[in-house]
Structure 1
Amino acid sequence: MCCWGRLAAALLLTTLAIAPAASLPPEVDQQDVDWVVGLRRQLHANPELSFEEVETSQLIRKTLDELGIRYRAPVARTGVVAEIGSGEPIVALRADTDALPILEDSGLPFASNRSGVMHACGHDAHTAALLLAAKRLKAVEGSLRGTVRLLFQPAEEGKGGAKVMIEEGALDGVSAAFGLHVMPFAPTGIVALRAGPTFAGSDRFNITIHGVGGHAAAPHTTKDPVLAASMAVVALQPLLSRETDPLQSGVVTVSRFNTGVGAPNIIPQSVNLLGTIRAIDHELFGRLRQRVTDVFTSTAAMYGCNATIEWSPVPYPPLITDKRAVELAMAAAAKVVGAASAVKMPQPFMGAEDFAFMAARVPAAFAMLGIRNETVGSVHGLHSPQFRMDEAALPIGAALHVQFALDFLERGGLDGKGGSAARDEL
């Protein structure tokens, strides 16, 4: 999951910590616990970056082979699409598989074997939990009233693997999709869901202001890109304070400002800036992108410079979940963790999640699974080099996937009719 906000995490912890942590689902035995923990540790020790999940994919396929589950691979280069059951309706369960370019400092005995690459966002846990769900669903395959499609998706961390999966048919015929993500700021076993806007859309910009360099003692002979870039950054501020409804959530952040290397008495030829925009609303998201372009282009020209602007090749849209899917998922979660531990997410996050591409194509719900447990050191935020997770959450995550699928198929779809419910909002 890309770019989690500390403030959102703190607010959610404050809201959710009042709920009691859930106990282990009674139908999961210790043998399954040992099995899923072993898988997760193997994945954690061998992390791979986006679209490089070769060994991860091999382990997934090997496990599916051992379970006798049919699959298609590769999908989206290193992804795997598996199916259990037959006929309609088809419900999709998704897990992301990639790691992050982070040097691990967790102190775990099964820490990363690859320097500078780490499972710091829990995708190893997501993958292992979905494999345990696959094992349990395979055991009841004969009684399934439809098909469960398992999506082991690569490249969530900024490269839009979900979009590529969709383009290669992963959601063809699917009536609804369910996903989950671990969250270290709520106690183990808490499950939070939200209908409607859930995560922000996210895009990144790379802007270069080109001017005319020269000696700092003669600024009149230059076209100063430092001045132009500085004024442009200031000019961004009204995009939210004056152009955006105060009740809407948006972010425009310039996070890098690079004038290069040189003597302090030299005005550089160019300045490079990096940053991000985020918004919960589709319309605001598109407008912020256009207005950032306008501000940098016009401000650069005002000071005799010019701007070149590059945006992400795969911007992530806002994640908008479906009310019916969330209601089903909330009821399913209550069966797994108890009604007191299945709670409503109080507000959207400004972080981004490429499950948004799936939620824009079919009705979808996205659950947040608490893993905070100070006893085992599961207290650090996602994307932290010290990140650890409470492995007691693994069978809970698996049980959630199973319950989502069983309840959906038992109802014959979100409306009890079955069949595909594909939509196109992108």
Structure 2
Amino acid sequence: MHTNVAASPTAVPSLLQEAEILMPYLQEVRRHLHAIPELMYNLPKTGAYVKAELDKLGVPYKYPIAGSGILATIGQGEPKFALRADMDALPIQEEVDVDFKSSHPGKMHACGHDAHMTMLLGAAALLKAREADLGGTVLLLFQPAEEGGAGGKKFVEERALEGVSGIHGIHVIPFLPAGMVASRDGTIMAAADRFFVEVVGRGGHAAIPHLTIDPVVAAAAIVGALQPLVSRETSPTDAAVISVSRFNTGEGASNVIPDSVSMAGTLRALTNTHFEQLRSRITQVITGTAEVHGCKAEVRWSEQAYGATVNAPEMVGLVEGAAKQLVGASRWQRLPEPTMAAEDFSFLADAVPGAFTFLGINNETAGSVHGLHTAQFQMDEAQMPLGAALHASVALNFFAREYSSRPDRNEL
């Protein structure tokens, strides 16, 4: 007779209690990682610490992968299910006065990736205790360079997800109440890219503007000309955002027209097709508007755009089941609409069926009320056991589903 813990209805409810027992460990791990933030693919201290914790848990891993990532495994054989956490921090100077404040000036875990790694290590501990009865393999992806470096794409390119049947990722989010678990079928996050513009004219004295080719006027016209791409070229039932967020004429006196103006901004859309259309039109509008004003414009896009993050309904169903088992239906929410933020989990979810989940951390008592990517961001650490248990529960639910669908299960 074959016993499978994943298929047992009594296995999942105990996960949250087990995870809560791990709270001192989770807090220690998260605070250590918070103090050593590193950027993009340059993660020597972060990677060394995660590897050391995996060693303590007896979890084998491959390193490096995807530049500076870690691919750990629990269990063996088919099917395979993956859990992902991002590792990199942001170039932000932390303003939160805590004992474990960033020790790296100008760098901060302001997006919760320290908590993501911690929750995945917690899930590793829960799953390792059940390894003999998993009925498959769990892959743990500790991924570098989520913040603009497309580390998820490198995992796919290096075939880390070969043979994997599903993947789950969690992101802590301050706009949801602490302890709320939320996701949705289909698109959950937008496609996004960044553009950088240099508008070149001919500067001179502001008292004789007719002898100049004013790049400031041209650049200002460009800002206005971009807006109708959303208001008049995007369906009212669709969604897109074009934001010019940087406008720099350089240093100089107020009575001097500069030779050039630098601009930067972002494009976001909910479908990859619409995103590509707008991307092309932005370049056309910028260069054409500059030319109308006698200037030239050079447009550069970032090295790698992020596609829309699209959840597979069957994977979201696993998350919903896990959330309701762990915390009840009142703390599960199907989001009514996607967010215009972007995530490189999109590369992973394009490769295999995936579910990206938000874990609410809004808690005034914990100071967890500030937005992501801000110098005041704080994590409600009390939610980390739930994140660890949710990861583990989704994986176990996946194996239980696969086991129950096997035609030969009654013969085992």
**Pair in the same fold by TM > 0.5:** yes
When residues 224 and 173 of structure 1 are mapped into structure 2, their CA distance, relative to the original with a 3 A threshold, is same
Aligned to 2:9: none
Q: 2:207 is matched with which residue: 206, 217, 234?
A: 217
Q: Distance in 2 between matches of 1:101 and 1:136?
A: 33
Aligned to 1:64: 54
Q: 2:29 is matched with which residue: 23, 31, 39?
A: 39
Moved over 6 A (4+): 413-417
Residue identity over aligned pairs, in percent, reads: 51
Q: Deviations over 1:252-297 (max 9, x none)?
A: 1111111122233322211111100111111111111111100011
Give the TM-score, by structure 2 length: 0.92
Q: Distance in 2 between matches of 1:414 and 1:177?
A: 19
Equivalent runs, 1:2-401 vs 2, <5 Å: 25-30=16-21, 32-401=22-391
- AA aligned opposite 1:25: L
The alignment yields a C-alpha RMSD, in angstroms, of: 1.8
When residues 263 and 29 of structure 1 are mapped into structure 2, their CA distance, relative to the original with a 3 A threshold, is closer
Contact kept? 2:19, 2:122, Cα under 8 Å: no
- AA aligned opposite 1:120: A
Residue 374 of structure 1 aligns to a residue in which SS?
coil
Contact kept? 1:324, 1:414, Cα under 8 Å: no
Contact kept? 2:19, 2:126, Cα under 8 Å: no
Q: Which runs of 5+ in 1 are unaligned?
A: 1-22, 418-426
Q: Distance in 2 between matches of 1:414 and 1:226?
A: 66
When residues 149 and 87 of structure 1 are mapped into structure 2, their CA distance, relative to the original with a 3 A threshold, is same
- AA aligned opposite 2:266: T
Q: Structure 1 residue 414: deviation in Å?
A: 11
When residues 325 and 415 of structure 1 are mapped into structure 2, their CA distance, relative to the original with a 3 A threshold, is farther
When residues 334 and 222 of structure 1 are mapped into structure 2, their CA distance, relative to the original with a 3 A threshold, is same
Q: Structure 1 residue 185: deviation in Å?
A: 2.3
Give the TM-score, by structure 1 length: 0.89
Aligned to 1:421: none
Q: Deviations over 1:147-183 (max 9, x none)?
A: 1000000111111111112112221211111000111
Q: Deviations over 1:186-211 (max 9, x none)?
A: 22211001111101111100001111
Residue 274 of structure 1 aligns to a residue in which SS?
strand
Q: Structure 1 residue 121: deviation in Å?
A: 1.0
Q: Distance in 1 between matches of 2:396 and 2:378?
A: 30
Q: Deviations over 1:198-240 (max 9, x none)?
A: 0111110000111122233333332221122111211111111
Q: Structure 1 residue 383: deviation in Å?
A: 1.7
Q: Deviations over 1:51-75 (max 9, x none)?
A: 1111111111111111111110011
Contact kept? 2:169, 2:357, Cα under 8 Å: yes
Contact kept? 2:150, 2:304, Cα under 8 Å: yes
- AA aligned opposite 1:145: G
Bigger drift between 42-51 and 213-222 goes to 213-222
Aligned length: 395
- AA aligned opposite 2:299: I
